[in-house]
Amino acid sequence: MRRARILVTVSVTLATLGLCLPPMAFAGEASPKTVAVDVALMDGGVLVGQVVDSQGSGIENAPVLLRYEGKSLATPRTGSQGYFALKDLRPGVYQLASAKSEGAYRLWAPGTAPPTAQKGALLVANDGVARGQLGRGGLKVLLANPWVAAAIVATAVAVPVAIHNSNRHDSHSP
């Protein structure tokens, strides 16, 4: 009878793992996707933009790095109100980085941009932003591990089953 109880406990545990593991095991890590912001170029392939702090004030003399396909193309500096301009750009997806901020921008030739396209690029410096993180991921990273999650679920099922089975007083023992 004891062997039957062990067999039932193991079977329930394995069944629980079988139900939980496949979705988690094959889901993989979610990779952050970069969303490109649509921006309409002005005549002459001119891109205008602004670098601002978290309060919306322009950051003066901040370097702005323009990259295309991983290559640095230009590094202008912002003016007194945080504005910058780059000329002779062709349509495409570019990366802009400045003051602890970066983003992807899909640049459109004049007259071809979708109606939702912005008239310029905006980079918001994220200095002073406090994020509530626990160490290097802490509990969130631990619970995101599929093996840890499966062990928690298996324990949550197996312990009540084991307690229930141990409370049964059978007169038959091997």
Q: What is the pLDDT of residues 110-137, one digit of tens each?
A: 889 999 999 999 999 876 555 554 455 5
> With left for phi above 0 and alpha for psi between -120 and 50, is residue 56 left, alpha or beta?
left
Residue 130 lies in a domain: no
Q: What is the pLDDT of residues 61-111, one digit of tens each?
A: 999 999 999 899 999 999 989 999 999 999 999 999 987 888 999 999 988
Same domain (yes/no): 49, 117: yes
Residue 87 lies in a domain: yes
The domain of 71 spans: 37-124
CATH number reported for the structural domain that contains residue 57 in this entry: 2.60.40.10
Total count of domains within the chain: 2
Q: Please give the backbone phi and psi of residue 6, each rounded to the nearest 5 degrees, phi first.
A: -65, -45
Residue 9 lies in a domain: yes
The three-point CA angle 94-98-99 to 5° equals: 155
Residue 95 lies in a domain: yes
pLDDT tier at 150, thresholds 50, 70, 90: confident
The three-point CA angle 26-152-170 to 5° equals: 125
Amino acid at 137: G
Tell me, yes or no, if the pTM score tops 0.75.
no
Q: What is the pLDDT of residues 14-52, one digit of tens each?
A: 677 666 655 544 455 555 566 889 999 999 999 999 999
